[in-house]
Amino acid sequence: MTLTVDIRKKAYPNGCCAIENLQFSAQRGEFIAIVGPSGAGKTTLLNLIAGLDRNLDGSIALRSGAAPARPTIGFMFQEPRLMPWLTVQQNLELVLAPQARLQQVVQLQDMLGLVGLPGCGALFPGQLSGGMQRRVALLRAFIVEPEVLLMDEPFQSLDAPTADQLRTLLQELWQRTRPSVLFVTHSLREALSLADRVLFLSARPSRIILDLPVDLSRPRTIEDAAVQKLHASLLERYPQLLEGQLAPPPEKSCTVHSCMR
Ligand code: ADP
């Protein structure tokens, strides 16, 4: 599986140019974090890759090794987006193909144990904490075994210990089936604790300003000394990295007057 992204320009009908000259490839099993300032175009990028938005000047190509019936792209959003009127088990069954449902019912019970929710299949989302709902959403993203999993700040707005637990769980699930992951975050520590590679985006219109391999042993947490050290050395070298700038600041070449933020 290879994902090749070649976006010459992505502008919205109101004239807002979100992305310009952004190219990269992702290999099978690679965990890539995407870091950039707010409003840079990260969600726009994921939507384009997912095919939710096809209006671009450029191309997104996914050369797949999977059987045709298998879904190739999964998406995990900022909110868990569980169906409130369905139980946990029914929410999970919903994403499985009908023929897979019967076979996987027993497996689902085991999988719920694996994500720390044993015996919770009959509960409704409203009976779960925010962290538990994210666990269900994580499991739902992985049980369809996507080749590419797109994650848009999935642990935002969680307290620090819960986010830590979910990052550990994410790494465990990823190690089992090894999809390629594109994980959007504005937290450099989170990116360095999860990814094989971090793509840093400029401010809008976004392009890649730094493609950084992260060669640290796993499993990792954001508290690891090696993660902290890399974090500090990166910001020392590029103080404006999180504002989307390597020195000197990049020139902007298309108008942004009509953008909302
Ligand atoms: P990020 O995820 O990096 O915060 P987004 O991809 O959400 O950024 O947005 C990038 C830019 O595109 C922002 O300026 C935003 O206002 C603009 N934008 C996003 N969606 C739309 C839309 N549907 N119509 C017009 N402008 C949009």
Closest of 25, 36, 66, 22 to residue 208, by C-alpha: 22
| End-to-end CA gap in the chain | 35
Q: What is the pLDDT of residues 57-92, one digit of tens each?
A: 999 998 876 666 555 889 999 899 999 999 999 999
Closest ligand 1 atom, residue 14 Cα: 25
Asked whether the predicted pLDDT for residue 253 surpasses 70, the reply is: no
User: How do residues 34-52 score in pLDDT, each as one tens digit?
Assistant: 999 999 999 999 999 999 9
- CA 184 to ligand 1 centroid distance, Å: 14
CB 157 within 8 A of CB 80: no
For residue 109, what pLDDT band results from cuts at 50, 70 and 90? confident
Give the per-residue pLDDT at 157.
Answer: 83
Cβ atoms 201, 18 nearer than 8 A: no
d(CA 221, CA 168): 7
In order of their start, the domains of the chain are 2-72+145-259 (3.40.50.300)
Which atom of ligand 1 is nearest the CA belonging to 36?
Answer: 3
Residue 12 CA, ligand 1 centroid: distance in Å: 8
Per residue in 132-181, pLDDT tens? 999 999 999 998 889 999 999 999 888 999 999 999 999 999 999 999 99
Does residue 248 have a cis bond before it (omega within 30 degrees)? yes
Rounded distance from Cα 14 to ligand 1 centre (Å): 11
Closest residue to atom 4 of ligand 1, CA basis: 39
Does the predicted TM-score (pTM) go above 0.85?
yes
Q: Residues lining ligand 1, judged by CB closer than 6 Å?
A: 12, 14, 16, 18, 36, 38-44, 204, 259-261
185-215 pLDDT tens trace: 989 999 999 999 999 999 999 999 999 999 9
**Cα 229 to averaged position of ligand 1 atoms, centre (Å):** 33
